[in-house]
Chains A and B, each alone.
Chain A
Amino acid sequence: MLDTFEILTTSGVVLWSRSFSHVNPAIINNFIADVFIEEKAAAAGVKDTKSAANNPAYKADQHTLRWSFSKELGVIFVAVYRSLLHLSWVDKLVDNLKTIFVDLYGEQLQKPNTTVVRCEKFDDYFDQQLRELESKATTKAAQPGGTAFIDEESISGNLGDEPPLPPGLKHRNKVHDGAQDRPSTAESTPVATPNQSRPSTPGGNHLVVGKTGPMGKVSRRARKMQINSSATASSGDEGPGRKGKKAPKKGRKWDADGFADEDDGVQLDYSVTGKSATSDSEAEATGRSTVVEEIDSATWGSKTSKGQFVLRDLDDEVHGILSSAQSKNSDNAPTGIVNTGLSSINSLFRNIVGGKTLTKEDLAKPMDGMEKHLIEKNVAREAAVRLREGVEKELLGVKTGSFESIDTRIKKAMEASLTKMLTPTSSLDLLREIDAVTRPSTLSGRKPRPFVMSIVGVNGVGKSTNLSKICFFLLQNKYKVLIAAGDTFRSGAVEQLKVHVRNLKELTEREGGQVDIFEKGYGGDAASVAKDAVKEAANEGYDVVLIDTAGRRHNDQRLMSSLEKFAKFAQPDKILMVGEALVGSDSVAQARNFNSSFGPGRNLDGFIISKCDTVGDMVGTLVSIVHATNVPVLFVGVGQHYSDIRNFSVRWAVEKLLST
């Protein structure tokens, strides 16, 4: 059973919702923050309008969220249900409801300067869809003869982290995306053999083949859950009439075309039409082929109403909407070459004057240029491509402003994209955070303790140097700092640190800075040294502990794995990684590996990018690193002196990146 279904705008207003059990609003808030705002890993490229089946499910706190997004209207459709229940039809529900909602209220949604959308009536449409899709799922399970076994498998085959799509959805997607990017997978549906003999359904082989196609091996447990889920589903109190009179009707329908196994009203009707003429298995065949051939949507509608089964008007309307959307989607590929001459003049004109609606072709060339520009600025190809795709999707179908050329529009969008990517979710005020830990307000009830910060990175990027720079800055602000020599590996490392400490002492003595070194020589366990240093600092009243660590190659398994223990022992408040701005360093792989080396639940807190003074405008490394890890750049090193460290300014970086 569904927990909740919400339709909300990108501006945050819930337009319509239906809740079956209470869901913490934080779940959807987190979903928005992770998927849409921070664009975490898998969800990149959300700006596109896709079917729910193609959007990775978002899992949180025992809940699974399936969702779809209408880019033009800025509306998000999201269904929330318990992860335990593997509801395979939810994708379909999200997709169908999106189609219906956009069809019914698209116009209202385009009105500027208001958030009011009158959509009370949507209740009925929702009930209809929920009833239809859910009953299909349960009818399947309850079908006599069709052993519950097979059905369950076929349903739960659609689950898992990377759900193989049910055939019905593939069908739809294929039509949906038409000539676009997604290669059709419908044909390649593998034939699953073991279930082919289904006892009481003669001629049902088609069905089983199609149905169990994408299913993988499913564990006993999953099956069991499925049983539970269907049990819950049928006992839930969803739409009226689902059980009473409606059920037999549906049942009959399903006797006829149950084999089609298309979770789709459209398919259903095809089969119904087919059934009157032919045998069951042929019906199945017609059903399938007709979809592929895109029959005229208007005709099937009327056929249905004349047909054997009297559907409610609402059903008709819903199916009409769904199928016309489908045929529209498959139609709009090439619209003929008639007006191209005129339209190209028009587009030329609009390109100068503005007010042009951007198409993929318009964007292709300038976007190539932009991508190249970014790569020339030393942005990794991977990151440049993602940025490009993001901007492209954002601009597709957008109108340029008056007297705004495509190039300026792209530059503007890219600037926004870069700014969003580089801006940290919460800004860092280091001194303020240190104060909060070392001198907590009496209200908070926390005990004062030293602030622990550690610095990691590969060999020779300037870990110790940058640690000293930060130390210098802290000393100027009169903090008492203990530097822990955590590099117990490379000979000379401790001595080098001692030199730094001596220099720093000399430099800041007059200003009242106080700095000492904590070292245990070589060969010891770095994690234990760090832990001891923190303890010592707490006893001696230091404000800040800065832990230097051994440089390690990011693909050195042994050394990398010791970082996890280190993080556990030292419990640093901040783990910063030093990376180089230099051209050609494999900073992206480094950043990724380091970011994932501290064990579950612990990531890097930020980057210090060193040697920024040597690269001029080519600051692309910054972008590549942030793109790869979603960890913000906090400081940049800009020279050889202790004072040559700066707060990272997003505006500065974006200006450099876009300058020519």
Chain B
Amino acid sequence: MEGLKNTLEYLLTPSAPIFIVGALIVLLVPILVHFFVVRTTPYTTLPTILLVGPSGAGKTSLLTLVERGDKTVPTHTSQTPQPVELTVSAGGAVQSFRETAKEDAPGMHKKFLLMDTPGHGKLRKFAMDRVNTQDSLKGIMFVLDAAALDENLPATGSYLYDVLLALQKRMGAGKTSRGPSSIHVLIAANKSDLFTALPVSLVKSNLEAELGRIRKSKSKGLLDSGVGADDVGNEESDNWLGTYGAEKFSFSQMREFDLEVDIVGGSVLEGKVDKWWKWISARV
């Protein structure tokens, strides 16, 4: 008790050591807090290419291929997103992704993140959140299985529709306020090694027809719960993918919204991904 009193008295009496200690505390605490926060905050400023697409299309396979450079590893249904840090070298003559992805490739090196996302219907939020809001997003690769497009057309189409509509809305919002300059979309028609695989031209026409159908049935569909009957008017044109009122949908309509959509075929299994890699290099 007595000791405590003494200490208190000492602390409250102005003296040099007390001032110094006090000043140190005042100065150091914010600095420490700053370091603490900085250390615990992960850096996420690398440009990001997002891999989206229905389950089983080959997103994770592609990810493992470009990370390892020479081979894929077996994969199963993904449940969580998975970023992988990669390097591209621009400038030097680009031959194949294997060379440009190397650490010692000639030309300028650029790091970026390739982000895999799960394609399962219940887990698309991971991808859609990033499509909607991620700032460092430089491009979106929509991977699909060209060999099973016949059966999967409705499912693939509706996912692609969601992605494109989300992007369109995002770009639309960007006109008024600060938004992304432009986001390119690459539709990667995978599994061209299989004999059932549709050629790129057919993939394109099938998808366009499907998106047109979806857009039509959506426009006639029921409203979502939570959307009041009053704000129907302006919703209509906002929720229309591509040129409003156009009879047929085509990917070129997305240019209106600064969205460039390309379709390129390839095969992860055979390592035929150079064109995709080139597209990525151009984005980051």
Q: Closest 9 interchain pairs by CB?
A: A652-B226, A12-B78, A11-B82, A355-B40, A431-B217, A649-B224, A646-B225, A113-B85, A14-B74
Minimum CB–CB distance for A294 against chain B, Å = 36
Given A416-B125, A430-B221: A353 and B78 interface contact (C-beta under 8 Å): no
On A, residues with C-beta under 8 Å from B are 6, 8-15, 17, 25, 28-29, 32-33, 36-38, 74, 112-116, 353-355, 399, 401-403, 416, 419-420, 423-427, 429-432, 435-436, 443-444, 473, 476-477, 612, 635-636, 638, 645-649, 651-653, 655
Q: Which residues of B37-96 have CB atoms within 8 Å of chain A's CB atoms?
A: 37, 40-42, 56, 60, 63-64, 67-68, 73-85
Minimum CB–CB distance for A624 against chain B, Å = 17
The 8 Å CB contact of A13, one of B73, B85, B120, B217, is B73
**Given the complex, which residues of B lie within 8 Å of A638, measured CB to CB?**
225
Stretch from B4-12, B150-158, B165-173 forming part of the interface with A: B150-158
**By the criterion CB–CB under 8 Å, are B79 and A12 in contact?**
yes
Contacts A/B (CB < 8 Å), 20 sampled: A8-B75, A10-B80, A13-B63, A13-B64, A13-B73, A113-B85, A116-B68, A353-B33, A416-B125, A424-B121, A429-B218, A429-B221, A476-B220, A635-B222, A638-B225, A645-B222, A646-B224, A647-B223, A649-B225, A652-B226
**By the criterion CB–CB under 8 Å, are A429 and B217 in contact?**
yes
**By the criterion CB–CB under 8 Å, are B77 and A32 in contact?**
yes
Q: Which residues of B113-165 have CB atoms within 8 Å of chain A's CB atoms?
A: 113, 116, 118, 120-125, 150, 154-155, 158
**By the criterion CB–CB under 8 Å, are B82 and A652 in contact?**
no
**Given the complex, which residues of A lie within 8 Å of B80, measured CB to CB?**
9-11, 74
**Given the complex, which residues of A lie within 8 Å of B74, measured CB to CB?**
14, 17, 25
The 8 Å CB contact of B82, one of A13, A38, A355, A443, is A13
**By the criterion CB–CB under 8 Å, are A11 and B78 in contact?**
yes
**By the criterion CB–CB under 8 Å, are B213 and A11 in contact?**
no
Given A13-B75, A112-B83, A646-B227: A431 and B221 interface contact (C-beta under 8 Å): yes
User: Does B214 touch A at the CB level, under 8 Å?
Assistant: yes
User: Does B195 touch A at the CB level, under 8 Å?
Assistant: no
Interface of B is mostly: mixed
**By the criterion CB–CB under 8 Å, are A37 and B75 in contact?**
no
**By the criterion CB–CB under 8 Å, are B222 and A420 in contact?**
no
**By the criterion CB–CB under 8 Å, are A649 and B226 in contact?**
yes
**By the criterion CB–CB under 8 Å, are A427 and B121 in contact?**
yes
Separation of A431 and B75 alpha carbons in the complex (Å): 35
With A353-B37, A420-B125, A646-B223 known, 16 other A-B pairs at CB within 8 A are A8-B75, A11-B81, A12-B116, A12-B118, A114-B67, A429-B214, A431-B217, A432-B213, A436-B154, A473-B222, A646-B222, A646-B224, A647-B225, A652-B224, A652-B225, A652-B226
**By the criterion CB–CB under 8 Å, are B125 and A423 in contact?**
yes
Separation of A399 and B223 alpha carbons in the complex (Å): 40
For A436, give the chain B residue with the smallest CB separation. B154
On B, residues with C-beta under 8 Å from A are 33, 36-37, 40-42, 56, 60, 63-64, 67-68, 73-85, 113, 116, 118, 120-125, 150, 154-155, 158, 213-214, 217-218, 220-227
**By the criterion CB–CB under 8 Å, are A12 and B77 in contact?**
yes
**By the criterion CB–CB under 8 Å, are A402 and B41 in contact?**
yes
**Given the complex, which residues of A lie within 8 Å of B158, measured CB to CB?**
427, 429
Interface of A is mostly: mixed
**Given the complex, which residues of B lie within 8 Å of A11, measured CB to CB?**
60, 78-82, 116
Separation of A14 and B73 alpha carbons in the complex (Å): 7
**Given the complex, which residues of A lie within 8 Å of B67, measured CB to CB?**
114-116
For B113, give the chain A residue with the smallest CB separation. A113
Separation of A431 and B219 alpha carbons in the complex (Å): 11
**By the criterion CB–CB under 8 Å, are A402 and B37 in contact?**
yes
**By the criterion CB–CB under 8 Å, are B76 and A14 in contact?**
yes
Separation of A430 and B218 alpha carbons in the complex (Å): 10
Minimum CB–CB distance for A8 against chain B, Å = 6
The 8 Å CB contact of B220, one of A37, A114, A431, A636, is A431
Separation of A364 and B246 alpha carbons in the complex (Å): 56
Separation of A473 and B124 alpha carbons in the complex (Å): 28
**Given the complex, which residues of B lie within 8 Å of A32, measured CB to CB?**
76-77, 79
**By the criterion CB–CB under 8 Å, are A33 and B84 in contact?**
no
Separation of A351 and B77 alpha carbons in the complex (Å): 35
**Given the complex, which residues of B lie within 8 Å of A646, measured CB to CB?**
222-227
**By the criterion CB–CB under 8 Å, are B79 and A10 in contact?**
yes
**Given the complex, which residues of B lie within 8 Å of A115, measured CB to CB?**
63-64, 67, 73, 82, 84
Minimum CB–CB distance for A161 against chain B, Å = 25
Minimum CB–CB distance for A408 against chain B, Å = 15
Given A11-B81, A443-B150, A477-B220: A420 and B225 interface contact (C-beta under 8 Å): no
